[in-house]
Structure 1
Amino acid sequence: MIPDDALSPMDDYPIHQIAEPIRRVATSDRNFYDRYYFNCYPSPDPDLFLIVGLGQYPNLGVQDGFAVLRRGDDHLVVRASAALGTDRTDTRVGPLRVEVLEGLRRLRVVLDDNEHGLAFDLTFTGSVPATLEPRHFRRQLERITFDTKRFVQTGSWEGTLTVDGTSTAVNGWLGNRDRSWGVRPVGEAEPPGRRAVDGIANFFWIYSVMQFDEFAVSVIVQEDERGRRIVEEAVRIWPDAATEPEWLGRPEHELRFAPGTRDVVGASLSFHRPTGEVTTVDATLLIPNYIGIGTGYGLEQDWRHGMWQGDLVVQGLRRQVSEIDPALRMFCPVDNLASFELHDDGEKFTGTGLFEVAAIGPHDKYGFTGFTDTAP
């Protein structure tokens, strides 16, 4: 039991936002969260895709994290959940932890040796400034269901990755990270009530973070079933922190689906400025990582981000990607490792990075009328 008047080392810093100890947030909404996300892949010839996440849920009293590796046909997950203590700087969840070495620039991510076949000790160094994204806000039947902020950063990795007892030196691997916080659905599923009939009808989402030698590009698109925008962004981020991110214009998308599925197998993006200038990006999807399988994003009802599992629980999960039910994948956001070819003002740039996509439920543009129909 945590005493009501418990303090933590963070309370010694002048960073308070409300008249409470720093471990308490300004809202009592059960769905408040504070999370890290990282991805990592070899460069220039990627053959695997590692994703790591760690979150705190102060009003649920839980801290949890996961690592998911896609390598060949393997989908390998290590996940951990623990009781959240008073010290919000203590990010250890069993064998997993995140260390901030230099705020907004260098972080260390560690998964200690364990029985589940995956371990690493990796340090991320940002290649562009951490950049704040637009606020993500959505209300449903008068209740705020999303009210979040996030920043994004591309960079490189150094360290060691161990899979099934074989260690690989990580030197100059690439990836991106983000930090997000606020209110979004977490923890045990709540009774839907009226939302079961008057709820949000779809989840259509594109989130792409592209890393080029000269700059990074971040793109966000969320649309309702008719294609109306909920949040959008398209910016170029320069390495020089003194240079403001450049707005590229309104983002538009063309997704290509494998027939008989909702698996996205290719994509093109375009950014339209009021002046008529257009920047285009062709994305080649290289390695899909099904982050909804086993990590806590919501498909398994017994393991969701923020769900109480006990004082400390550590689990492993291994699947063959070829055996994952295609019907299950329809309800799973997918983090694709992708290569990109960007055309802007007569110049061509090539890069790699994240293309996260979900087309869940109806969407007029792509002809989806429900949750289970597929592409022709």
Structure 2
Amino acid sequence: MLSPMDDYPIHQVAEVIRHVETSDRNFYDRYYFNCHGPDADSPWLIIGLGVYPNLGVTDCFAVVRHRDEHIVVRASKALGADRTDLTVGPFTVEILDGLRRIRVALEDGHGDLSFDLEFVANGPAALEPRHFQRQMERVTFDTQRFVQTGLWSGRLAVDGARFDVEPGPWRGNRDRSWGVRPVGEPEPPGRRADASISGTFFWIYSVMEFSDHAIVVVVQETETGERVMDDARRVWHDPNREPEWLGHVSHEITFVPGTREAAEATLRFTRPSGAVTTVTCHPDLANFLAFGTGYGLEADWRHGMWQGDLKVSDLHLKVSELDPTMKLFCVTDHFTRFVRFDGDNEENGCGLFEFAAIGPHEQYGFTGYTDTAP
């Protein structure tokens, strides 16, 4: 199982690069990208590629929201020895210049979506706090991630319409994460099946881009509001400036009536000095990320699930016809406009507001899994 990477002095454990330190089946190594145009009428594209060393699988997906269209192309293959091989059927991820330039491509002829795009960073990659969570004896999350904003260029075709993607109007963010999180076929729950463990997943992940910096927010809460993750940082585009911690995060979410979808949100970051930064979030376009991409809604396609040596498939759905009950169990990535208030200073920005309110949550009055906002 040797690969060209084994010729470099980068080993971390007494194994070849193909094998990771832990034998946990849920170890993963993943890329995420989003790309949006100048307004809500532009396509809102999300791409992910994951490597699952202990499951022997690599898979990739692309999902685009354009008006009422929800289009997915996905592929899965057996993982070979060479972890640098970032092709999965018609998909390619190519590292052109580490932490600076990356190419992502999907060949024509695999559903109603194709692209050949280059991401060029406009700021440094910023490391986020480690994400750790244990349910009884089992570690369910132990992950590390970095995030980066940038500009896109290239070509994009969606449902017969072609877009010339140019840096400036077309921008987005990407992240890299790796570690342990639930992947692959469902596991027997064992003792946890008899335990009174809340399955609440309340999650805010936002990457807001302003003129000379980005603000990255990560919040995860239990049913009672206890924090698993709580971080907000200003990441300057100037790589010589250190990221700035903005303080404790509080949130006020306004929901679309009859759903758990965010209509608007206000986030406040309070530092020990009492200084407060406030950001209002105005979602323009929702990409219901979990439909068809492998995040767990469909039993026959999950990240890391064995699909055979190579399988490629596609979906084309109407957003207006997506199952509203399934949306209750869906992480949603919103293309969002932001307004930041620092004292008397005000600035507009745009970017990602990723949100999920799955399960009971006391602050917003959710008592079960299927009740919705009034």
Normalised TM-score (structure 1): 0.97
Matched, 1:103 2:98: yes
For the 8 Å contact 2:110–2:313, the answer to whether it is kept is no
1:290 aligns with 2:285: no
Matched to 2:238, the amino acid is D
Look up the match of 2:29.
34
Partner of 1:196, secondary structure, is: helix
Distance verdict in 2 for CA 1:327–1:45, change over 3 Å: closer
1:72 aligns with 2:64: no
Letter in 1 for 2:369: F
Letter in 2 for 1:176: N
Partner Cα separation in structure 2 for residue 327 and residue 45 of structure 1: 25
Give the structure 1 partner of residue 173 of structure 2: 176
The gaps in structure 1 that reach 5 residues or longer are 1-5
The answer to whether 1:273 aligns with 2:268 is no
Whether the 8 Å contact between 1:140 and 1:200 is mirrored in structure 2 is: no
Q: After TM superposition, give the deviation of residue 201 of structure 1 in Å.
A: 2.7
**Relative to structure 2, which stretch is displaced further, 38-47 or 282-291?**
38-47
Number of aligned residue pairs:
371
| CA distances 1:22-61 after superposition (whole Å, capped 9, x unpaired) | 1110000000000000000112565220000000000000
Question: CA–CA distance in 2 between the matches of 1:170 and 1:146?
Answer: 36
Q: How does 1:55-134 map to 2 (within 5 A)?
A: 55-134=50-129
2:247 counterpart of 1:252: no
Q: Are positions 1:135 and 2:130 aligned together?
A: yes
**Distance in 1 (alpha carbons) for counterparts of 2:40 and 2:60:** 28
AA matched with 1:177: R
2:185 to 167, 185, 188: 188
> TM-score normalised to the size of structure 2?
0.98
1:48 and 1:287 in contact (8 A); partners too: no
Q: Which amino acid in 1 is paired with 2:209?
A: Q
Deviation string 1:318-358 (CA, Å, 9 cap, x unpaired) is 11010112111000010001000000131111110000000
The 2-side partners of 1:22 and 1:144 are apart by 24
Opposite residue 344 of structure 2, the aligned amino acid is G
User: 1: CA distance between counterparts of 2:110 and 2:60?
Assistant: 17
Residue identity matched to 2:179: G
Counterparts of 1:81 and 1:362 in 2: how far apart (Å)? 34
CA distance in 2, matches of 1:323, 1:186: 27
1:280-325, Cα deviation, whole Å (9 max, x unpaired): 0000000000011000000001000000000000000011010112
1:243 and 2:241 are equivalent in the alignment: yes
Residues 9 and 115 (structure 1 numbering): CA distance in 2 closer, same or farther, change over 3 Å? same
d(CA) in 2 for partners of 1:45, 1:27: 43
Match of 2:14 in 1: 19
Aligned match of 1:352:
350
Q: Aligned partners of 1:370, 1:197: CA distance in 2, in Å?
A: 18
Flag as ranges the 4+ runs of structure 1 deviating above 6 A: none
Deviation at 1:212, TM superposition (A): 0.9
Give the letter aligned to residue 211 of structure 2.
D
Q: What is the CA-CA distance between 1:200 and the residue it aligns to? A: 3.8
Q: Which structure 2 segments of 5+ residues have no match? A: none
Distance 1:45 1:224 in 2: 32
Q: Secondary structure at the match of 2:320?
A: helix
Higher mean C-alpha deviation, range 198-207 or range 93-102: 198-207
CA contact (8 A) 2:286 2:334 kept: yes
Match of 2:152 in 1: 157
Task: Return the alpha-carbon distance in structure 1 between the equivalents of residues 93 and 217 of structure 2.
Answer: 26
SS of alignment partner, residue 243 of structure 1? coil
3-state SS in 2 of match to 1:10: helix
Deviations 1:96-152 (A, max 9, x none): 110011111110001111230111000001111000000000011211110000000
8 Å Cα contact 2:292-2:298 kept in structure 1: yes
Partner Cα distance (2:231, 2:110) in 1: 41
| Equivalent in 41, 50, 53 of residue 48 of structure 2 | 53
Aligned to 1:3: none
Whichever residue aligns with residue 234 of structure 1, its letter is: A
State the secondary structure of the residue aligned to 1:194. Answer: helix
Partner Cα distance (1:169, 1:195) in 2 = 50
Conserved? CA contact 1:252–1:271, under 8 Å: yes
- Partners of 1:56 and 1:331 lie apart in 2 by 24
Identity of aligned residues (%): 61
